[in-house]
Structure 1
Amino acid sequence: MSTDWLLGTWRLMRADEPLDFAPGVRMEFLAGGVLRYHVDVGGTDQTIDLVYRVDGEMLHTDNPAAPHSMSVRMVHGEGDSLLFDFGGPQALLIREATLSRGPTR
């Protein structure tokens, strides 16, 4: 199954409280398994480079710079949304519009 739909930048809309996501988090999925995790720190965009792979409906991420890996169930939802289900608590992201994608209908 192709995961080309995942490529691009996704912005956090909401996350259940136990997840402790910072407001304004963005996840930029690139070809070749590169994930750039963006978080605002004092008005400055801080980027953490991760690697990812998709296995069915599971997204697996790893941070090569620090011993931290994670797996989460993901669903490509309505309106080009991305839902992460952490076995109960959930996070919802929406795709950021880019000029190259053109208007959505």
Structure 2
Amino acid sequence: LDTLHERRFVIFLEPPSMDERIVNQHALFSLMSGSSLLMNHWLEDHPELFYRIIIPASLKWEIRDKLDQANITERVLFPGLDGLSSWLKRQYSPKELSQE
């Protein structure tokens, strides 16, 4: 442990399932070795540890549909009125309005 303070690092932790929101979101917290460190700087130093997926806008509605079929929706990820109202807005708005 004495050598850890010399190197910048990130630790990812899965919290205990204390409430429905944490369970539904499959929450994961990240902790960095220093309070002044920024995640994007750490990631720039370690490009081999991640990759970025860019989803074309033309596929957005197909992907949203697949997520809906898998019951991965706003009302599941964000239990309560916030999630329900976001889901209702997306479900009952014209696609142009809800493509935010």
TM-score between the two structures when normalised by the length of structure 2: 0.24
TM-score in terms of structure 1 length: 0.24
**Structure ID, larger Rg:** 2
Q: Say which structure, 1 or 2, has more relative contact order (CA 8 Å, 6+ apart).
A: 1
Question: Which structure features the higher share of helix residues?
Answer: 2
Considering fraction of residues, name the structure with more strand: 1
